[in-house]
Structure 1
Amino acid sequence: MKSACSIPLWIGMALFMSLASSAKQDRLAAQPAVLAPLAEHSLLTDITILPSNRLIAVGERGHILWSEDGVHWQQADVPVRANLNAVSFVDASHGWAVGHDASILHTQDGGASWQLQQFLPELDKPLLDVVFESREHGIAVGAYGLMYRTRDGGTSWEAEFHLELLDEEEQEYLLELKQDDPELYAVELTAILPHFNRIFVADNQLLMVGEAGFFAISDDFGQHWELLEPFYHGSLFDVAVTAEGHWLAVGLRGHVFLSEDEGESWQEMVLDSQATINSVIVLPEAIYLTGNAGLWAVSTDQGQSFVFSTEVDGRAIVNAVPFQQRMILATELGIRQLAQQSQKKP
């Protein structure tokens, strides 16, 4: 099960890409993450809760933490030091984490130990999100249209390129280039697509958002895609479906969009903040938004309006999960906690 975050190339590009540079230790081989006493206070970029109620958080320098109570955290042994951006579990035991150097990690014991399935430092590109529909079938996506698929639980990962994720003009350009200049065509394949920031599993449909207003949907777990007409020209960093079946997309500079007709039309919501929004967390009783500059917003009317506040010393909140009447936050300062119904006005 996927919690809502995978840190796309943001939290201020300078902050995150500086971390990427620091992770380039030895590009020839993966190096294990260092066990750090203060790992739970370092930048964490995703968090999820397992059916067993174990919490798993991932972040910079290959840090993966787990906790049974949300208070005491243990750092797992991880075979790579790359910054990790997203974590997703298909059940209480089997999960995957993805990050820089197109790294893909797998656990079979609920996050206590991890194995490296893919490490491609030569690409110098991060994977930003990962989802699975079963223990065997999953997709990882990332910067510049990176997309990998596995049908064997990650024993092998195959790169995919979907022409239908480009607009008609770009498709025509690529097809002409394939005939006229095969070498340039091969180069363009690695850069023409936008960053794929987030995938959301909505029943039998995938919703994927990304850079420059990119929004695509799939009815067959990403084997074919439909590109939606842009309704916003800035980057989108998360998408979710409310209890009423409405789509909620969020992104740069506090932009929040609501669609009540599955993407046919969109209404921009007003949020009293221009901070970038990183994640949407949909619960039965409320919808939460997390963002940079400590952004924390709550809606109790299915996304029609939000009450805004600033938390954790104004530092970035990347994601959150509910746990025992609390919200456990993955932030720029590590793990933080809030009361689940925090609706403090600024």
Structure 2
Amino acid sequence: MQPATTINNESALRTVPPAAVGTRRPPSRSRIWVGLGIVGLVAAGTVASFLPRPSPVFPASSGQPHLMLINGAAQADGKHLVAAGELGHLFYSQDVGQPWSPAAVVPQRGSTLTQVFFADPSLGLAVGHDNWILRSEDAGQSWQEAHFDAEAAEALMSVWGTAQGALFATGSFGRFLVSDDRGKTWQPRDTGLGDRHFYGIAGAGQQRLMLVGETGLVARSADGGQSWQRLPDFYNGSFFGLIALSASDWLVYGMRGKVFRSGDFGESWQEVDADTGLSLYGGTRTRDGRVVLVGEGGVVTQSGDGGRTFKRLNDGGAGSLSSVAELADGRLIFTGQSGISVAGAPAESPIP
């Protein structure tokens, strides 16, 4: 265990209007609440808005986006960093987070972006509300629209793939889109998994994939996403994300701090004590093997043994965190209700 890194004050959050996640069937109020809680950390419904929470504590950083919900961030090449958030905003930094500059987005739809992902150092994808998919070929400095469908009133919540293989975008009400041309065009695919919200997708290589979602959904594919098998339920709450630790070892996490680990590509699952009862919304595996999960109220919990045990580093009590990612220099970048923060010293002591 490395020394703890103090997290200091950052910025406040501007309330974001709620948005619909779909119209294909009458959704329940609780289902809508959960769905948009992850997409933009929003309580959904016709009159819902953000829950009141104090701002989290982060170190000040010159040039960061302020007063803005940031849902995700990703490292492009060795120095370029990209963040995505509300109202279709994308920001990039050429010096690992200092300063931030607005990225060019064409056309600018104004729909909230939920995740950003790089398939290689140059090829980036950002997904969000209204089935919006943006694509970048210059490490995130400029973005062009690849897909948009406002009439469907669906939100894409996750994107994953490989630069030389298929790319996948998943979202509300079973939305599953596939691209075979490096993200230039996208086609829907029927997974056979029904219309549950798909909150996360990840893979280990081009063949083994898993996705997680609403009401305990966990499914796997052994043929590169061509076909999917829903695994037997082992938890009735929603899973908001997953991490492929290896081709065999997988971690899923979600509501009420629930974490489960599999060492056999989902044949069996063991519950892991995450050292928190707060919902977990995002996670990453660092290059030195640590697993870091973040979520409700700013909670941060970490594993140093491949997700078998966790120790809580932050008790929460602040704005919720939606994602965490490792930078090229070993520090961690956090995103959420209060924007962006970078914590830890380069290489030697990222947040433990």
Tell me, yes or no, whether TM beats 0.5.
Answer: yes
Give 1:287's aligned residue: 291
2:37 is equivalent to residue 10 of structure 1: yes
Name whichever of 265-274 and 296-305 sits farther off. 265-274
Contact 2:200 2:241 in 1 (8 A): yes
For residue 342 of structure 2, the aligned residue among 328, 337, 341 is 337
What's the offset of the Cα at 1:112? 0.9
| Count of equivalent residues | 296
2:199 alignment partner AA: N
For residue 308 of structure 1, the aligned residue among 305, 312, 337 is 312
CA RMSD of aligned residues (A): 2.7
Give 2:65's aligned residue: 39
What's the offset of the Cα at 1:313? 5.8
Distance (Å, rounded) in 2 between the aligned partners of 1:97 and 1:250: 22
For residue 74 of structure 1, the aligned residue among 101, 116, 127 is 101
What's the offset of the Cα at 1:143? 0.2
Distance (Å, rounded) in 1 between the aligned partners of 2:39 and 2:191: 29
Give 2:168's aligned residue: 139
What SS does the aligned partner of 1:39 have? Answer: coil
Give the TM-score taking structure 1 as reference length: 0.78
What CA deviation, in whole Å up to 9, does each residue of 1:24-78 have, x standing for no partner? xxxxxxxxxxxxx973441111111123331111111111111123221111122
The sequence identity of aligned pairs, in percent, is: 31
What's the offset of the Cα at 1:260? 2.1
Give the TM-score taking structure 2 as reference length: 0.77
What SS does the aligned partner of 1:42 have? Answer: coil
Distance (Å, rounded) in 2 between the aligned partners of 1:337 and 1:95: 21
What's the offset of the Cα at 1:234? 0.7
Contact 1:44 1:60 in 2 (8 A): yes
Give 2:267's aligned residue: 264
| Rg comparison, structure with higher value | 1
What's the offset of the Cα at 1:152? 2.6
Residue ranges of structure 1 left out of the alignment (5+ in a row): 1-6, 23-36, 166-191
2:310 alignment partner AA: F
Contact 1:317 1:332 in 2 (8 A): yes
What CA deviation, in whole Å up to 9, does each residue of 1:161-215 have, x standing for no partner? 122x2xxxxxxxxxxxxxxxxxxxxxxxxxx420111111112311111111111
Residue ranges of structure 2 left out of the alignment (5+ in a row): 1-33, 50-62
For residue 122 of structure 1, the aligned residue among 140, 151, 156 is 151
Distance (Å, rounded) in 2 between the aligned partners of 1:199 and 1:296: 21
Distance (Å, rounded) in 2 between the aligned partners of 1:100 and 1:255: 26
Identify if the C-alpha distance between structure 1 residues 337 and 312 changes in structure 2 by more than 3 Å, giving closer, same or farther.
farther
What's the offset of the Cα at 1:328? 1.1
Contact 1:213 1:235 in 2 (8 A): yes
